[in-house]
Amino acid sequence: MELDKLYNAILNQDVEGAVKIAEACLKAGIEPLRALDHASEAIRQVGDLYGRSEIFLPQVVLSAEAIKKVADVLLKKVPRKKRGEKAKFIIGTVEGDIHDIGKSIVATMLEAQGFDVIDLGRDVAAEKFVEAVKKHKPAFVGCSALMTTTAIAQREVIDALKEAGVRDDVKVMVGGGATTELHAKEIGADEWGADAMDAVVKAKRLLASRTCLLKK
């Protein structure tokens, strides 16, 4: 019942209501990730309505604000591992793309699992990814893209890493609404993540495969 209310509050751009319902979900003992799944479904539905011109951008903006605040409330309650992977994971949304809700959820989930996450934010140019790799020497680079027009920028990040001679030092993971597993293969990424849990599982698998260079 609370989950339906959460879904509807986000769909109906009720920012304050959504936050209160998220808090009520936690009080009712609902797992934060389960609640976040429903919230994500709601924002996807918002995207579909926008895609069909049934709602307009200002409404999407408000629903996005609602899910961001809901995610803040819920993600704080995701259980954190005390001893984690300790692998560095650089993540960002690619250049030209300001969508960062999913990327931030992935970053928080990785952190909760003990990864040392460096979040470069959104609209991040390929050179910034390269600079960060040289500076932090991570095990992973993660690129998020939500638009068909920006998914191509994930390839640009991989090309820039190659050009800088650091491509083989990292595992590149890509994700975001505009991407697919096939796209990931085509651009030469090491893995694609469907959602935050999938990202964590696949990052751990890559670490375990020992083909991943662990940099401290």
Pick between residue 27 and residue 59 the one whose CB is nearest to ligand B12.
59
Q: How far is the CB of 65 from ligand B12 (least distance, A)?
A: 8
Does position 138 interact with ligand B12 (CB under 6 A)? The reply is: no
Q: Please report, as residue ranges, which positions from 81 to 120 form the binding site for ligand B12 (by CB under 6 A).
A: 91, 96-103, 105-106
Among 195, 201, 204, 212, binds ligand B12 (CB under 6 A): 195
Does position 196 interact with ligand B12 (CB under 6 A)? The reply is: yes
What binding mask, one character per residue, do residues 5-44 give for ligand B12 by CB under 6 A, x or -?
Answer: -----------------------------------x--xx
Does position 131 interact with ligand B12 (CB under 6 A)? The reply is: no
DSSP codes, the chain: -HHHHHHHHHHTT-HHHHHHHHHHHHHTT--HHHHHHHHHHHHHHHHHHHHTTSS-HHHHHHHHHHHHHHHHHHHTTS---SS----EEEEEEBTT----HHHHHHHHHHHHTT-EEEE--SSB-HHHHHHHHHHH--SEEEEE--SHHHHHHHHHHHHHHHHTT-GGGSEEEEESTT--HHHHHHHT-SEEESSHHHHHHHHHHHHHTT-S----
Pick between residue 23 and residue 198 the one whose CB is nearest to ligand B12.
198
Binding stretches for ligand B12 (CB under 6 A): 40, 43-44, 46-47, 50-51, 57, 60-61, 64, 91, 96-103, 105-106, 142-144, 146-149, 173-178, 193, 195-196, 199
